[in-house]
Amino acid sequence: MKLEIESRNVAMTPRWKAEIEFRMGSLIQRHKDVIHGRVTLIKNRHHKKLTNVAEALVVATLPGRHTVTARKESKTFEEAIRAAFQAVNIELRKHREKRAKTEVRMPPVPPYRGVVCKLFPKERYGFILKEGGTEVYFHANALKGLTFKKLEDGTEVVFGIEPGDNGPQATVVTLPQPMAVKVS
């Protein structure tokens, strides 16, 4: 891992440099995926608040060009360094927790079944005969994983329903998923 240490408007002391190297080493032990670190100490000569003149900026780079940054101000550089490294550690932990969560979102299964009963290819709409005997309008834009050209009367479909201008209309019209068959 490459570490860059620099200062602006103040001379870097061996004590600050040792503190930064120690804290970066501890950070890398906890977060082994850090590939680059940069720490900048800045003395704010023209700062609005006369009490906080020491500033520490810590940047940690992860694979995939993801960076975590913390900038902290304090009365002393030791306090600013400590606060900035604590903030980077928290952000790296949050980043790891976020990446560890793997939610696989499945599209909702349309709740209705039926068969295509009327097609109007030039107008790009048709009707589905729903189980129970009612017809439901659908437009070609509602087809998912299907093309209007490949549909024909009698094609079995699953779909959702929502209110339309002229009654119920089908949404998300797809082919039914094949049932898994367990062979013994």
**CATH number of 49's domain:** 3.30.160.100
Question: Can you tell me the mean pLDDT for 82-106?
Answer: 84
The domain containing residue 159 runs over which residues?
A: 112-174
Are 41 and 73 found together in one domain?
yes
Is a pLDDT exceeding 80 seen at residue 47?
Answer: no
Are 25 and 50 found together in one domain?
yes
Read off the tokens for 153: 């009367």
Which residues are within 8 A (CB) of 123 and not within 5 positions of it... i.e. 6 or more apart? none
Residue appearing with tokens 């209705």: 112
Q: Which residue has the higher pLDDT, 93 or 1?
A: 93
Report strand pairing: 156-164 vs 135-139: unpaired
Q: Does 37 reside within a domain? A: yes
Report pLDDT digits (tens) over 111-168.
889 999 999 989 999 999 998 888 999 999 999 888 888 888 999 999 988 888 888 8
* pLDDT value for 108: 61
Query: Smallest Cα–Cα separation from 53: which of 70, 72, 67?
Result: 72
Q: Which residues pair with 54 in a beta bridge?
A: 43, 74
Domain termination residue (choose one: 55, 77, 100): 100
* pLDDT value for 48: 61
